[in-house]
Structure 1
Amino acid sequence: MPRVVVFDEFGGPDVLQVVEEPVPEPAAGEVRVRIEAFAVNPLDRMMRSGALPAVVPLPHARLGVEGTGVVDALGPDTTGPEIGDPVILTAVPDASVRGTYAEYTTVPASRVVARPAGLGVTEAAAVWVAYSTAYGALVEKARMRPGDHVLITAASGGVGRAAIQIADRIGAVPIAVTRHAAKTDELLAAGAAEVVATDRTDVVEAVRHHTGGTGADIVLDLVTGPGQQDLLHAARPGGTLVAAGFLDARPTPFPTGSPLTFHSYRSFEHTLDAVVVKRMAAFLNAGVRGGALRPAVDVSAFTLDDVVEAHHHLEKGLHAGKKIVVTV
């Protein structure tokens, strides 16, 4: 029987176990995907540890919000994808029930898109969450335009790197924020126009310098927490701040009296919208085809049997902000 990763209690990576289950059958309007690879995301760690605010039903909970594979069965009255199509899963809102840490899963047919021809299996498993989040926050929500100065926190992470590439492709000016000056060259090579290392530089002064004194037009805050107050002062009056992450678990002071437009963003806001997903997929395909969009993938080789080790790798930060991929 096919294998799937489950956990019966919250805790560290060792609560994960690989078990066998019958092959799931797709319902009406669904497809079954034979998973070839999936990415390990911080959201998975939150679900596994019990830190996610949403309810995760135990026991026998599953993980995995992104992955890639091949359609191998269609449910009744299913249109769109065909058996044999290589696809990317665009949304698994019920990941605790049918997450991608498995050899097979079923999803509505509207939740898959064709895998971009220029991506291998490993890259395809790591591309959607980061790029759809960055695209949704910057293009759909903040209406990023050519010439905009875009301040990106946690820039060395998966979403941060995707945001740099997307800003470059649009013609905006990405300013990367990192806590460590040692990452400066890496972020410049990734496409950042400027890098602000907060262990050496005051973020407000640096952004003012890089924008000729006006401040950032758009701030993509993937960290939140108390540090957001500095980002408010780094933005120009009338600019936009999009809070799209939660890497800092401390409370975020409510931004009062600031002449900015604020948005709180979660990717399911758009990845459950078929019209926006079509735009995202078209943008991703064009960017991959032109070589402008490419995920940064951790070089460690993990298989389904190594899923506990993969989560330890994530916990220890050994991936250096690159996506951890598990092949199935």
Structure 2
Amino acid sequence: MARGVRFHETGGPDVLKIEQVDVPAPGAGEVRIKVKALGLNRAEAMFRVGAYLEDPVFPSKLGYEAAGTIEAVGPDVREFQVGDAVSVVPAFHFAHYGMYGDLVLAPARAVVKHPETLDWASAAATWMQYLTAWGALIDIANLKRGDFVLIPAASSSVGLAAIQIANQVGATPIALTRTSAKKADLTEAGAAHVIATAEQDLVQDVMRLTDGKGARVVFDPVGGPTMAKLTQATARGGIILLYGALSEEATPLPLFDVLGRQQTIRGYVLFEYTTDDAKLARGRDFVLAGLASGALRPKIAKTFPFEQIVEAHRYLESNEQVGKVVVLVD
């Protein structure tokens, strides 16, 4: 028996309960991990309220990212040994696995030996953000030196990862944030330019920064009415990668902008990469190389003890953070 977080109905953070759960011995292709830290993600909050790509089956577990030590391995697992320090890649459904606990099962294909330079909090804050940004920006959009990339919700962990990856390949990251409150943080995080969309003219400023051409790549987790401005700020032949639905308002299709400028709007989810072994290997190698070189550096916004998982989710939904919310497990 171990502590695990489950919920028995959809709703706000208060539906999360720490319960005693049975964690069996790992089966074929599985490992059991003694968890040291958890990385929280917006997708988990959406799943908790019933607004995600899959519906919870009660009692439901959740949690995509964890870091800790291997406590047991399945009978056919050869790449890991008891005691290995590892972190978990989001590559599974919550119907099968959930990382919110102090002892958890995970599929071995979703487990990585992270660099020894990472502490537990940073290791738990790595894979969702960097693989999400890598798949969209590098593998799909082929972001490269000289490109401009617009990054809405740039203070999120994925937004910060996108800034770092853009800088790593020599592109110019333009961070978008609602107000100027986070401008200094985003500049310090490596954004070449920061636009406060509620205070500035998004299209006019992007055109000024790009010599009237617009950004070739847009990496948007929001959707909603701002899509109309994003298409106007996107270059001819550019691509808008839509990987989230944070806005509760309808997302318009600015048809004449898209047609007239031959733009691509591409829906994207991380799981098209983490469920494909070849793509996952490419992304993992890119991220590990970036971590080793120091080009990729997870930023922790705030940590909470495991017993405060409800408070951690409240903070996650406050939008106050710049970076990753992490829960430490004693």
Which TM-score band (shorter chain)? over 0.9
User: For residues 256 and 326 of structure 1, what CA distance do their matches in structure 2 show?
Assistant: 43
Equivalence for 1:103: 102
Q: Could you tell which deviates more after superposition, 240-249 or 94-103?
A: 94-103
Matched position secondary structure for 1:14: helix
Preserved contact between residue 92 and residue 99 of structure 1 (Cα < 8 Å)? no
Residue-by-residue CA offset, 1:194-217 (whole Å, 9 max, x unaligned): 111112211111111101111101
| Amino acid across the alignment from 1:190 | A
Partner in structure 1 of residue 35 of structure 2 = 35
SS at match of 1:48: helix
CA distance in 2, matches of 1:323, 1:95: 21
Q: Of the candidates 284, 301, 307, which is equivalent to residue 305 of structure 1?
A: 307
1:26-59 Cα shifts (integer Å, max 9, x gaps): 111211122111112111111222222422111x
Distance 1:288 1:209, change over 3 A: same
Counterpart-to-counterpart distance in 2, 1:262 and 1:79:
42
Q: Determine if the alignment matches structure 1 residue 274 to structure 2 residue 277.
A: yes
Aligned-residue offset at 1:133: 0.6
How far apart are residue 182 of structure 1 and its match? 2.5
Q: Does 1:17 align with 2:17?
A: yes
Q: Which residue of 2 aligns with 1:227?
A: 226
Question: In the alignment, residue 13 of structure 2 is paired with which amino acid?
Answer: P
Q: Which amino acid aligns with 1:72?
A: E
| Displacement of 1:96 | 4.3
The answer to whether the Cα contact below 8 Å between 1:92 and 1:107 also exists between their aligned partners in 2 is no
Q: Deviations over 1:100-130 (max 9, x none)?
A: 1011222221111111222110111111111
Name which of structure 1's ranges 77-86 and 257-266 shifts more when overlaid on structure 2: 77-86
Q: Is the 8 A contact 2:227 2:253 kept in 1?
A: no
Letter aligned with residue 308 of structure 2: D
Q: Report deviation, 1:92.
A: 4.3
**TM-score normalised per structure 1:** 0.94
What amino acid maps onto 2:8 in structure 1? D
1:65 aligns with 2:67: no
> CA separation in 2, counterparts of 1:265 and 1:82?
34
In 2, distance between residues paired with 1:306 and 1:194? 36
3-state secondary structure, aligned to 1:122 = helix
- The total of aligned residue pairs comes to 325
Q: CA deviation at 1:148?
A: 0.8
1:136-180 per-position Cα deviation (integer Å, ceiling 9, x unaligned): 110111111111111111111111111000000011111111111
How far apart are the structure 2 equivalents of 1:241 and 1:63? 29
Looking at structure 2, the residues matched to 245 and 286 of structure 1 have their Cα atoms a distance apart, in angstroms, of: 27
Deviation for aligned residue 1:240: 1.1
Does structure 2 conserve the Cα–Cα contact (< 8 Å) formed by 1:29 and 1:79?
Answer: no
Q: Distance in 1 between matches of 2:301 and 2:129?
A: 14
After superposition, residues 141-220 of structure 1 pair within 5 angstroms as: 141-220=140-219
Q: Does the 8 Å contact 1:79/1:109 carry over to 2?
A: no
1:25 aligned partner, one-letter code = A
The DSSP-based 3-state class of the residue aligned with 1:262 is strand
**CA 1:317 to 1:182, structure 2 compared with 1: closer, same or farther past 3 Å?**
closer
Deviation string for 1:282-328 (max 9, x for gaps)? 2222222222211221234x22211112112223334x232111111
CA distance in 2, matches of 1:266, 1:68: 22
Q: Which residue of 1 aligns with 2:46?
A: 46
Residue type of the alignment partner of 2:24: P
Q: How much identity, in percent, do the aligned residues show?
A: 42
In the aligned structure 2, how far is the partner of 1:4 from the partner of 1:27?
Answer: 19
Q: CA deviation at 1:227?
A: 0.6
Residues 90 and 127 in structure 2, CA contact (< 8 A), matched pair in contact too: no
Could you list the runs of 5+ residues in structure 2 that have no partner in the other structure? Answer: none
Quick one: distance in 1 between partners of 2:114 and 2:294?
A: 15
Gaps of 5+ in 1: none
Secondary structure of residue in 2 paired with 1:294:
coil
Structure 1 range deviating more: 259-268 or 49-58: 49-58
**Deviations 1:57-76 (Å, cap 9, x if unpaired)?**
11x21110111111221112
